[in-house]
Amino acid sequence: MEFAEIPKDVLPGLSVLTVTGNVELTLENYRGILEYTGELVRVQVKGGQLKVTGEHLMISYYTNDEMKMTGWIRDIEYHCSE
């Protein structure tokens, strides 16, 4: 099985999501935090929203363009607005 990999510099501004198991999520190129509780994190990204649900969710750190969430991640949903 072959996977096509698109270089990050070809699609500037798109979010990059890195998930480690079901306990850690790193998001690059996000636009803003819309909602944040221990069970739900909603984030604005280019072209839509990212919705993460789980238990004991915590934003470990964030900068203007990167954030890390930890906790027990149950679901990750992307809601396209375009």
Task: Count the neighbouring beta carbons within 10 Å of the beta carbon of residue 22.
Answer: 13
Question: 9 in a domain, yes or no?
Answer: no
The pTM of this model reads 0.84
CA distance 74 to 53: 6
Question: 1 in a domain, yes or no?
Answer: no
CA distance 42 to 51: 5
Mean pLDDT, all residues of the chain = 91
CB 65 within 8 Å of CB 50? no
Question: 2 in a domain, yes or no?
Answer: no
Class of residue 77 by CB neighbours under 10 A (exposed 0-12, middle 13-18, buried 19+): exposed
What CATH code is carried by the domain that includes residue 61?
2.60.40.2000
Residue 76, pLDDT > 70, answer: yes
Question: 3 in a domain, yes or no?
Answer: no
The structural domain count of the chain equals 1
Residue 50 belongs to domain spanning: 16-80
Residue 8, SS3 per DSSP? helix
